[in-house]
Amino acid sequence: MNRRDFIQRATAASAGMLLPTILPSGRLFAATGSRKVNHVVFCLFAGGVRTLESIWQNDGNLMPTMLNGSSSISSDIAGSIDAMPPSPLSAPLQTQGTLFTSFKYDQGPTGHFNGHVAALTGQHTTYALNLRRRFPLPTIFELYRKHNSPQMAAKNAWWISKSNVLYPSLNYSAHPDYGATYGANHITPNTFFKTAISNSLQHDIDFTSTKAEDVANLKAYVNSNFTSTVTLNNGIRNSPAHRNEITNWMKTVQQQVTGGMTGNPWGISSGMNSDQKNLFFAEELINNFKPELTVVNLSDVDTAHSNFSGYCNALHRADYGVSHLWNTIQNTPGMANDTVMIVMPEVGRNLVDNNILDANGRAALDHTTGDTMSRDLFCLVLGPSQVIAQNKVVSSPGGRSIDVVPTIANLLGFDLDIPISLPGLALQDAFQ
Amino acid sequence: MSKLSTIVLLAALMLGSCNRSDIYDLGTIKVKAEGEKVNLKSDLQFMTMAYRDLYGVDVPPAVLDLMRDAYISFGDKALVIDEIVQALLLSPDLVLMSDQVMRADVDAFVQASYAKFFLRNPTVFESVYWTGQIQAITDLTVQDIYYVFMTCEEYKYY
């Protein structure tokens, strides 16, 4: 065998070894584990929710579209609870999955940021985090994108944050082996799609295809004449094709906004609050991109710091919003019956009030003491009946907020490929 | 020693005794080549400078807030910067040089564009390249060229 034959045969042999495996699902390759579903939506039912007002229904069932129970809302606060449209679901959400009633945020300060970081990284955050620095350990987005094979594009992973306070930096970590390269697309739609910004950004320079090519060539020439001396941090990067898709979607939504079509698309008589708006935009995004991993958060319940009745009202609105989101997922081709949704607050709230009274004479609640009540959570795992145990309640202690990351990794089949130590465990009790 | 040799020796001693570093001490500042850019503009600097470069005045606080909100609210920073630059260029408030004026003196336009956006003169090669491109691509507009300058790598540095 001469040298050329050897190289040709060696190349052919190695190519054979690298030939992709086409899976029954149509995907090329696979992570080590098998997937239970192809989409996960994690709804951080955040802002600080006590189990007393949610699953224990201390003031009546404020979450009737999610939870079983028909107890009426306490008469002194009932007038502060806005009427929502009828549930889009035929039965409460918990009948379509497994409800963990003794979940814990078991370590770390009971603040929003620590709670979010623990939920999104699967790591304990036992120290005061530096809000100006990204967390040193990878987020679920980075684990998902890096440890699937082939590695996943950013278009498949979205972090939809309710506000720009604290949260934008949670789309990737500072870990040297992960970081922006594997981060999620982040958007704060309540800000990005506000009317003034939509008005300004909705039009693009109209480049014909020939002109676009000319402009690209000119830009390439200018860039070729410049050598940067420091690393440019562009955040996460989408491929040019995906960037076009994202831009087109943005323009569509911006035109809806400027056309007045997003003011109250759910037809709520008292209007939509910002949690519901965030969920509406999440639905628009899910409809368009059908991401494999979506995380969306809420926060309006945090009004509890000064207004207990407002907190209950926000809980009631969040309940409707989450059911609306699940209904949209189940009516989205490609997502229906192939999606698991996990709903969990990031922290609870203190047992003892802070003496600030609202108009109904109810005392407000902080989440600062780290007491048991501020660590008690619930977790609802919803999904297809062949994957997720239906209408099941797990009341035994054990589940923790750091278990969500390994659960998502297990559902999407890459849990065995993660080289980072995760202290949590997949929520096997929720699986069939 | 001849008179001439003596004069040369004295002149050499006098010149050698001048300590130039005492006169031209630049401390720790490194002398850079013209146009060399070694610092990345911060997000705020980028938006402030972009506005000023186009409109010739400081960015109004309300406009800066709007740009900042858009920037912070989206994770793909290159994408959102592109969107912001396009929005600035498309604003009805912006008065750009007409394409006819540009084409009447392409060389002057290229010189002015490099000065405006890169704070330097174009090299001879750059000048020849751009002049050739503007003349060859007949539908290339001032807006297109400004877009190229403002979304290229060099514009992100100072």
Burial of A294 (0-12, 13-18, 19+ CB in 10 A): buried
* pLDDT reported for residue A129: 80
Cα–Cα distance measured from residue A286 to residue A278, given in angstroms and rounded to the nearest whole number: 12
Cα–Cα distance measured from residue A385 to residue A377, given in angstroms and rounded to the nearest whole number: 24
Q: Is A209 on the interface with B (CB under 8 A)?
A: no
In three-state secondary structure terms, A228 is coil
Cα–Cα distance measured from residue B63 to residue B40, given in angstroms and rounded to the nearest whole number: 22
Q: Which residues pair with A293 in a beta bridge?
A: A40, A157
All residues of chain A having their beta carbon less than 8 Å from the beta carbon of residue B37 are: 226, 229
Q: Is A246 on the interface with B (CB under 8 A)?
A: yes
B9 has pLDDT over 80: no
Q: Is A223 on the interface with B (CB under 8 A)?
A: yes
Cα–Cα distance measured from residue B76 to residue B85, given in angstroms and rounded to the nearest whole number: 15
- A211 token code pair: 């002109």
Side chain identity at residue B36, one-letter code: E
Q: Which residues pair with A431 in a beta bridge?
A: A388
From A219, A230, A246, residue closest to B79, measured CB to CB = A246
Give the chain B residue nearest A198 (alpha carbons): B70
Q: Is B116 on the interface with A (CB under 8 A)?
A: no
Window A:133-172, CB contacts with B under 8 Å:
154, 159, 164, 168, 171
The reply to whether residue B154 touches residue A226, judged by beta carbons under 8 angstroms, is: yes
> Vertex A124, ends A123 and A129: CA angle to 5°?
100
In three-state secondary structure terms, A356 is coil
Q: Is the ipTM of this complex over 0.90?
A: no
All residues of chain B having their beta carbon less than 8 Å from the beta carbon of residue A230 are: 38-40, 157
What would the DSSP string read from start to end of A102-169? EEE--SS--SHHHHHHHHHH-S---S---TTS--SS--HHHHHHHSSSSPPPGGGEEEE-S-SSSGGG
Q: Is B129 on the interface with A (CB under 8 A)?
A: yes
All residues of chain A having their beta carbon less than 8 Å from the beta carbon of residue B66 are: 196-197, 200
Q: What are the pLDDT tens digits along chain A (432 aa)?
A: 333 333 333 333 343 333 333 343 334 445 667 999 999 999 999 999 999 999 999 999 999 999 999 999 999 999 999 999 999 999 999 999 999 999 999 999 999 999 999 999 999 998 778 877 899 999 999 999 999 988 899 999 999 999 998 899 999 999 999 999 999 999 999 999 999 999 999 888 988 889 999 999 999 999 999 887 666 566 898 999 999 999 999 999 999 999 999 999 999 999 999 999 999 999 999 999 999 999 999 999 999 999 999 999 999 999 999 999 999 999 999 999 999 999 999 999 999 999 999 999 999 999 999 999 999 999 999 999 999 999 999 999 999 999 999 999 999 999 999 999 999 999 999 999
* pLDDT reported for residue B7: 55
Alpha-carbon dihedral of residues A238, A239, A245, A251, nearest 10 degrees? 50
From A191, A194, A226, residue closest to B153, measured CB to CB = A226
Cα–Cα distance measured from residue A25 to residue A356, given in angstroms and rounded to the nearest whole number: 55
Pairing of the two strands A293-297 and A39-44:
parallel
- A364 token code pair: 């407000």
Taking only the tens place, the pLDDT of each residue in B63-114 is: 999 999 999 999 998 899 999 999 999 999 999 999 999 999 999 999 999 9
Q: What φ, ψ does residue A191 adopt, rounded to 5°?
A: -90, -50
Q: Is B152 on the interface with A (CB under 8 A)?
A: yes
A404 Rama sector, left if φ>0, alpha if ψ -120 to 50, beta otherwise:
alpha
* pLDDT reported for residue B95: 95
B8 has pLDDT over 60: no
All residues of chain B having their beta carbon less than 8 Å from the beta carbon of residue A197 are: 66, 69-70, 73
The reply to whether residue A223 touches residue B157, judged by beta carbons under 8 angstroms, is: no
CA B67 to chain A, closest CA, distance in angstroms equals: 8
Helices (H) and strands (E) in chain A — how many of each? Answer: 11, 8
Q: In what order do the strands lie in the sheet with A392-394?
A: A185-187, A157-160, A293-297, A39-44, A339-344, A376-382, A97-104, A392-394
Closest by alpha carbon to B54, among B95, B13, B82, B15? B95
Give the chain B residue nearest A169 (alpha carbons): B75
Cα–Cα distance measured from residue A377 to residue B92, given in angstroms and rounded to the nearest whole number: 52
Q: Is B128 on the interface with A (CB under 8 A)?
A: no
CA atoms within 13 A on the CB side of A50: 26
All residues of chain A having their beta carbon less than 8 Å from the beta carbon of residue B72 are: 164, 168, 188, 191
The reply to whether residue A243 touches residue B140, judged by beta carbons under 8 angstroms, is: no
All residues of chain A having their beta carbon less than 8 Å from the beta carbon of residue B139 are: 211
Side chain identity at residue A69, one-letter code: G
Asked if A62 contacts A52 with a C-beta cutoff of 8 angstroms, the reply is no
Best mutation target, B45, B152, B158, to test chain A (most A CBs within 10 A)? B152
The reply to whether residue B77 touches residue A187, judged by beta carbons under 8 angstroms, is: no
Put simply, whether the predicted model's pTM sits higher than 0.80 gets the answer yes
Angstrom distances, CA of residue A91 to CA of A18, A71, A321:
48, 16, 15
Asked if A367 contacts A83 with a C-beta cutoff of 8 angstroms, the reply is no
Cα–Cα distance measured from residue B54 to residue B42, given in angstroms and rounded to the nearest whole number: 18
Q: Is A127 on the interface with B (CB under 8 A)?
A: no
Rg (CA), chain A: 23
Cα–Cα distance measured from residue A391 to residue A388, given in angstroms and rounded to the nearest whole number: 9
CA A221 to chain B, closest CA, distance in angstroms equals: 9
The reply to whether residue B75 touches residue A184, judged by beta carbons under 8 angstroms, is: yes
Q: What φ, ψ does residue A357 adopt, rounded to 5°?
A: -95, 140
Strands (E), A292-331: 293-297
From B78, B87, B149, residue closest to A201, measured CB to CB = B87
Side chain identity at residue A129, one-letter code: L
All residues of chain B having their beta carbon less than 8 Å from the beta carbon of residue A142 are: none
Average pLDDT over residues B6-16: 50
Number of A/B CB contacts below 8 angstroms equals 127
The reply to whether residue A226 touches residue B152, judged by beta carbons under 8 angstroms, is: yes
Q: What φ, ψ does residue A58 adopt, rounded to 5°?
A: -60, -30
The reply to whether residue A222 touches residue B154, judged by beta carbons under 8 angstroms, is: yes
Q: Is B50 on the interface with A (CB under 8 A)?
A: no
* A216 against B26, higher pLDDT: A216
**Cβ atoms < 10 Å from Cβ of A23:** 12
Asked if A340 contacts A382 with a C-beta cutoff of 8 angstroms, the reply is yes
* pLDDT reported for residue A229: 63
**Cβ atoms < 10 Å from Cβ of B28:** 4
From A184, A215, A236, residue closest to B144, measured CB to CB = A215
